[in-house]
Amino acid sequence: MFGDIDQLKTHDGRPLVVAAGPQTSIDHLYRSRDFQAVDQLKDALGRPDLHLGSPPARAARAGRMNAQGIAVFYGATHALVAIAEVRPPVGSEVVVARFNFCRLLRLLELTALEDVQDGGSIFDPTLKQRLERAAFLRTLCGRMARPVMPDDEAFEYLPTQAVADFLGTMNEPRLDGIVFPSAQTSEGRNVVLFHHAARVGRGNRAATPPH
């Protein structure tokens, strides 16, 4: 279903797999976390890599694109999206950190799936199968990015977790993450980096004052 997905394009020629990293249009991500305790907030401002980076496996909670115990990096292309995704409680403080990519990555652009095309000669015996695949891929963005109520997350996230795990481990070509629309705001997009691409280094401090 996802084999050679990097060779597919949309009707207007956009690729389904995009490059992220230095000297690309996606060369950094924002990630945020809410705090109720001042001491913890100060610690996060001093070491955002530890407090806002990918969690250790033992602390990794299940999410839209990962099962419990699988550490991935959830970020956003815009700081406001990162804040909205946290859904901070009233009265809490939110720290936002910018994380720069240090190498090139290959990301599946989920919104491009809605306009994917594949075709060829009607005499090609593989045409029917390829058209059916394209039709399935066009429905995938809505399925993977639709809003889910907190009480339903454990069940509703199972299909998206399975797809993400396959793309990051078994697919050919193996992908490093997924770009997908935010369910909380239209300001930007979310990005999940799979486990093998989710390591965070200290680098330069990039946390902003709390908002």
Q: Output the CA–CA distances (angstroms, integers) from residue 148 to 4, 60, 89, 158, in the order listed.
A: 30, 19, 18, 12
The reply to whether the predicted model has a pTM over 0.85 is no
Q: Is 151 left (phi over 0), alpha (psi -120 to 50) or beta?
A: alpha
For residues 148, 152, 155, 161, the Cα torsion angle rounded to the nearest 10 degrees is: 30
CA gap 34, 13 in Å, rounded: 40
What are the pLDDT digits (tens) for 12-51?
888 999 999 999 999 999 999 888 888 888 888 888 888 8
Closest CA to 1 of 118, 130, 117: 130
What are the pLDDT digits (tens) for 99-155?
999 999 999 998 888 888 776 666 666 667 767 777 878 887 777 777 777 777 777
Top-confidence residue, 35 or 91: 35
What are the pLDDT digits (tens) for 172-187?
889 999 998 887 777 7
Map out the domains of the chain as residue ranges: 5-197
Q: Which range, of 53-67, 79-93, 119-133, 143-157, averages the lowest pLDDT?
A: 119-133
Top-confidence residue, 208 or 94: 94
Q: What is the DSSP string of the chain?
A: --TTGGG-EETTS-BSEEEESTTSS--EEEEEEEES-HHHHHHHHH-HHHHTSPPPGGG---BTTB-TT---EEEESSHHHHHHHH-PPTT-EEEEEEEE-SS-EEEEEGGGGGGEE----TT-TTHHHHHHHHHHHHHHHHHHHS---GGGHHHHTHHHHHHHHHHHHTSSSPP-EEEEE-SS-SSSEEEEE-GGG------S--BPPP-
